[in-house]
Amino acid sequence: MADFKNILKYLFLYHEPDIQEEFILKEKESEKAGKEKTSERRKEISEDKQKTDNKSKTSKESHESKLISKNLTDNIEYLKKVYSIPTNGDIVLREFEIVAKDKTIPACIIFYDGMTDRTIIDLAILQPLMLLSNLEVKDKGKELLEYISKHLLVHNQIQITQNMGKVIEDINYGGCGVFIDGIDAAFACDVKGWEHRGVDKPETESVVRGPQEGFTETLRTNTALVRKILKDEELVVEDVSVGKRSKTPCSILYIKDIVNDSLVEEVRRRLKGIKVDYIFDTGDLEQYLEDNPFMTTPQIIATERPDRVANALTEGKVAVVMSGSPFALVMPTTNIDLLQSAEDTYLRFPYVNLIRIVRMVAIFVSLLLPGLYVAITNFHHEMIPTDLLLAIEASREKVPFPSVVEILIMEFAFELIVEAGIRRPGQLGPTLGIIGALILGQAAVAANIVSPILIIIVAVTGIGSFSIPNFGLGLSFRLLRFIFIFLASVAGFLGISLGLFMYGIWSCSVKSFGVPFMAPTGPKTYSNFLEQFVRSPIWKKEKRPDYLNVKKVHKQAKISRQWSQDNKKKDKQQKYEIQK
Amino acid sequence: MIWGIFFIFIFLLWISIRTFSYGKWTWDKKNWLGAIMVFVIAALILILPMLSFYWAER
């Protein structure tokens, strides 16, 4: 009985939430102290829990703290154990000898075949060590380690480390490790040279105006593409690795003197707080980073356009790029950001406003049109002109199903066509679309399974969902569409209103990295409020978004077209002289 | 339709009671104006759909 009372209390009475918001974008330095305490405490608790859970340490964790031995044989044995040599086929362990200071010293080099550039290894590492090591060097008093690093290894990127874990990490990411007998350190050389795709056109975000370069799977190419656009020394590319085993390299990108420091801290904290063995793509990373995983709408923008990332960075946002993924993540994100495309910045403002209206209509159509059709045909006949109603009813005369079943059949058929079109390679995809849309649609009408007007509704809905610029948002609306069809079939317009009301409340409660998802409308922020809906001329965009609490609010001068003012001054002067 | 309305009414009633409870919590926190507005919303959650049904029936 007491349990039942508790359940009723839990269901019907409001309880103060136990866990407060984890992260709020702060404006003042003084506010930080209190918040960090709770996050640190939570971190401690989770670490304690982990310690009890994983009592036995894996070998992976143990070699991170292992130091390099002075004895080369010990090091080789250890590497053989770690890399499963000789079972492992693509790892190369080459033993050789160098002659330095009139002594023959055994050495070895280890690297992955296929991930490294063999020419660099041969010419810049092996050749000097094996052939030039007996050359006369004037300063003979130098230590062996210093002598090798300063005179023999001619490669341009070398790190000397005493930590075995660091060398292994470098080898795993296309580097090579050089071990020398008698030295308790190793040389980790960057000799990456794997096959990769070149910079190509972005597949999912093509534009008419604007750059045609897209991200690739190579991390440094991606960061270089952004740096090439911004050309700003304040742009920071901070390296972080994610994944306990994979140690996938990621980079946090931000402009140091614009971005809110607490935002960068939060992104860094979340990235470092991901406890997973392997991570493959920014799609995975997005799901680990986002605030509300159960919200259908994406809360982080994934883009394959470097110019879009650069634009977001100048606004004061933070981007994360990851090795192996041609998509960058931009955060925080608001709902308006999801409705804007990369082209919006490059086109003149009247066209952009027209396109934005079209997009709004597309969203409305994609989300609600099938639901509205069901609501009108089942409950609210008085809403449409009589002639149209008669036409709809006449077309549905021979259809044996209720309108909700009819629309569900067609929506599922459409989803099938879309899914099959994506999965089929090359030229088969569009062919499948044509067969599905034209032939099946025609046949379904001829067989009286669906009415002709429904084909129009499903087609318009489909086109509408493809007009949404963000792929994730499009998918979200495809899912929500079915919920609205259900609600409309149960209670007509009342059901649709209820659905919109619930979705609105849900959206208002969501935050993306401390920024309310509905900003700048809920809560309303004043700077650039109208800009979010209506694109003003480019010279009017003086301020960065208010909700980001950036260090520098203005991004251009109040009068950015200074030449127009100069012209006015000249005209005035001329008139004055003529009058004189 | 009747069943749909019934379930929606039950759902709205639940939301209204919970919202009212939130209003009480707000009142206890001495946010008088906020609490009054929440009470108004709790009432409207039930009243508006009922009115819309009443008008639809007429």
- Segment A128-179, tens digit of pLDDT: 888 877 666 555 556 778 888 887 888 888 889 998 988 998 888 889 999 9
Contacts 24+ apart (CB under 8 A), A397-403: A398/A448, A399/A448, A399/A449, A399/A450, A399/A451, A400/A448, A401/A449, A402/A378, A403/A373, A403/A374, A403/A377, A403/A378, A403/A454
Q: From the centroid of its chain, how far is CA A216?
A: 13
Say how far apart CA B57 and CA A463 lie, in whole Å.
Answer: 37
Strands (E), A454-527: 511-512, 515-516
**C-alpha distances in angstroms, A47 versus A57, A301, A579?**
14, 31, 82
Which residues of chain A have a CB within 8 Å of the CB of B21? Answer: 12-14
Q: Which of A12, A490, A498 sits opposite B17 (nearest CB)?
A: A12
B39 by Cβ neighbours in 10 Å (0-12 / 13-18 / 19+) ranks as middle
Is the sign of the CA dihedral A561, A562, A563, A564 positive or negative?
positive
Find, among A241, A221, A208, A246, the residue nearest to A326 by Cα.
Answer: A221
Given a contact cutoff of 8 angstroms between Cβ atoms, the answer to whether B56 and B40 are in contact is no
Average pLDDT over residues A208-233: 88
Question: Are the beta carbons of B49 and A494 separated by less than 8 Å?
Answer: yes
Residue A242, strand partner residues: A248
A180 by Cβ neighbours in 10 Å (0-12 / 13-18 / 19+) ranks as buried
Q: Which of B4, B25, B52 sits opposite A16 (nearest CB)?
A: B25
**C-alpha distances in angstroms, A32 versus A28, A273, A306, A551?**
7, 19, 32, 16
Q: Is A517 left (phi over 0), alpha (psi -120 to 50) or beta?
A: alpha
Amino acid at position A395, single letter? S
Question: In chain A, pLDDT over 70 holds for what percent of residues?
Answer: 89
pLDDT winner (highest mean) among A2-16, A39-53, A57-71, A470-484: A470-484
Residue B29 contacts A where some CB pair is shorter than 8 Å: no
Q: What pLDDT does A270 receive? A: 94
Amino acid at position A359, single letter? R
Residue-by-residue DSSP string for A285-298: HHHHH-S-TT-SS-
Chain B segment 2-21 residues within 8 A of A by beta carbon are 4-5, 7-8, 11, 14, 17-18, 21
Given a contact cutoff of 8 angstroms between Cβ atoms, the answer to whether A239 and A249 are in contact is yes
Given a contact cutoff of 8 angstroms between Cβ atoms, the answer to whether A111 and A177 are in contact is yes
Q: Using the predicted structure, report yes or no on whether residue A525 has a pLDDT greater than 50.
A: yes
Which residues of chain B have a CB within 8 Å of the CB of A12? Answer: 14, 17-18, 21
Residue A505 contacts B where some CB pair is shorter than 8 Å: no
Average pLDDT over residues A418-437: 75
Distance from CA of B8 to the nearest CA of A (A): 8
Say how far apart CA B48 and CA B55 lie, in whole Å.
Answer: 11
Say how far apart CA A341 and CA A364 lie, in whole Å.
Answer: 17
A494 by Cβ neighbours in 10 Å (0-12 / 13-18 / 19+) ranks as buried
Q: What pLDDT does A56 receive? A: 42
Residue B24 contacts A where some CB pair is shorter than 8 Å: yes
Question: Are the beta carbons of A491 and B25 separated by less than 8 Å?
Answer: no
For A371, residues 6+ apart whose C-beta sits below 8 A from its C-beta are A481, A484, A485, A487, A488, A495, A496, A499
Distance from CA of A489 to the nearest CA of B (A): 9
Average pLDDT over residues A116-128: 89
pLDDT band at A336 (very low <50, low <70, confident <90, very high): confident
Least confident of A93-102, A259-268, A285-294, A433-442: A433-442
Given a contact cutoff of 8 angstroms between Cβ atoms, the answer to whether B27 and B19 are in contact is no
Give the tokens for residue A413. 């058929």
pLDDT band at A41 (very low <50, low <70, confident <90, very high): low
Residue B1 contacts A where some CB pair is shorter than 8 Å: yes
Calculate the CA dihedral of residues A357, A359, A364, A366 and round it to 10 degrees.
160
A450 backbone dihedrals φ, ψ, rounded to 5°: -130, 160
Find, among A92, A94, A96, the residue nearest to A112 by Cα.
Answer: A92
pLDDT band at A309 (very low <50, low <70, confident <90, very high): very high
Quote the mean pLDDT of chain A: 85
pLDDT band at A31 (very low <50, low <70, confident <90, very high): very low
Q: What pLDDT does A55 receive? A: 43
Find, among A58, A218, A501, A466, the residue nearest to B41 by Cα.
Answer: A501
Nearest-by-CA chain A residue for B50: A494
A19 by Cβ neighbours in 10 Å (0-12 / 13-18 / 19+) ranks as exposed
Give the tokens for residue A338. 């999801």
Given a contact cutoff of 8 angstroms between Cβ atoms, the answer to whether A126 and A153 are in contact is no
Average pLDDT over residues A408-423: 85
For residue A435, count other CB atoms closer than 10 A to its CB: 13
Q: Which of A13, A379, A498 sits opposite B8 (nearest CB)?
A: A498
pLDDT band at A94 (very low <50, low <70, confident <90, very high): very high
Question: Are the beta carbons of A490 and B4 separated by less than 8 Å?
Answer: yes
Q: From the centroid of its chain, how far is CA A27?
A: 25
Question: Are the beta carbons of B7 and A14 separated by less than 8 Å?
Answer: no
A45 by Cβ neighbours in 10 Å (0-12 / 13-18 / 19+) ranks as exposed
Q: What pLDDT does A138 receive? A: 56
Say how far apart CA A172 and CA A156 lie, in whole Å.
Answer: 19
**What's the pLDDT tens digit per position in A256-298?**
889 999 999 999 999 999 999 999 999 999 999 999 999 999 9
State in Å, rounded, how far the first CA of chain A is from the last one: 100
Find, among A16, A268, A209, the residue nearest to B25 by Cα.
Answer: A16
Find, among A208, A475, A203, A476, the residue nearest to A327 by Cα.
Answer: A203
Count of CB contacts below 8 A, A vs B? 30
Q: What pLDDT does A20 receive? A: 60
Three-state DSSP class for A91? strand
Least confident of A38-52, A303-317, A502-516, A549-563: A38-52
**C-alpha distances in angstroms, A320 versus A278, A341, A528?**
17, 19, 25
Using alpha carbons only, what angle is made at residue A563 by residues A567 and A529, rounded to the nearest 5 degrees? 120
